[in-house]
Amino acid sequence: MKVCKALTVAGSDSGGGAGIQADIKTFQEFGVYGMSVLTAVTAQNTTGVQGVYPVPQDGLEQQLTSIGSDLKPDAVKTGMLFSGEYIETVAFFIKKFGWSNLVVDPVMVAKGGASLLGEEALEAMKTFMLPLAKVITPNIPEAEALTGIEITSDEARREAARILFNMGADYVVIKGGHMEEEFVSDLVYNGVELWELVDKRVYTKNTHGTGCTFSAAVAAELAYGKTLENAVRNAKKFIQTAIEHGIDVGSGHGPVNHFAYRRILHEQH
């Protein structure tokens, strides 16, 4: 039986709610074998990021080489890539090994407000990473940073999606969690069609790891060979359930609940 494999290239969250911890938990819930390449270690909890410690450049390269020489991933997702140099390195190895089904989550700012991607890395993201992406999954602030336009309306968000698509990604998903509406709408664009995935807003502080988890769910579904449309729809269901059943730990933003979706499915059967 074929084992579907997914690789996350991202930072470590010591609090366990986001980063590679969230990605591996998500892969596990989808029945996908998860692998990781660490870009940085963060000292982090529910109140914010207390420190960011990058993995040495040669350590990043060796991790990518180790995966590429032995374990071909069926999908790859990137999270916090730390710097322009690291982005260029990761893109080089993705091309070198011919990895496909790349999900780019352009992580820039943590829930607590700490910057996780320097300004100089924006150009590297646009130049090296987006042309390789099957899909990019920015939230509103990330889409604003990448496109340079202020997104305060549906029309502005559509324009941002077109700009991001023209940077090279096959699909663009601009998440709507930062908008203020009663319903959360994620905008999906493939260069031809624009459509929205809508769900009711959950009013909770326990949303840490939302973006990481959603993009990891998309990658897991792509690893199975699902179409991008189906992967995004299933990932949306997964993250909606994870937010609805967020875990109330710590004194800040608690994490989403990675095992809620499978538990509910099990109870229904």
Catalytic, out of 111, 175, 226, 236? 175
The pairing of beta strand 194-200 with beta strand 102-104: unpaired
Catalytic, out of 26, 89, 137, 210? 210
Measured CA to CA in angstroms, residue 180 lies from 31, 93, 127, 203 at distances of 34, 39, 32, 11
Catalytic, out of 17, 209, 246, 254? 209
Catalytic, out of 8, 78, 207, 241? 207
End-to-end, the C-alpha distance of the chain in Å comes to 25
Task: Using only the alpha carbons of the chain, give its radius of gyration.
Answer: 17
Are the CB atoms for 99 and 218 separated by under 8 Å?
no
Two structure tokens written together for 209? 């790891």
Catalytic, out of 212, 213, 246, 254? 212
Annotated active-site residue 175? The verdict is yes
Sign of CA dihedral 206, 210, 213, 214: positive
Annotated active-site residue 77? The verdict is no
Are the CB atoms for 146 and 125 separated by under 8 Å?
yes
Annotated active-site residue 236? The verdict is no
Annotated active-site residue 209? The verdict is yes
What's the longest Cα–Cα distance across the chain?
Answer: 50
Annotated active-site residue 212? The verdict is yes
Catalytic, out of 11, 68, 84, 211? 211
Catalytic residues: 175, 207, 209-212
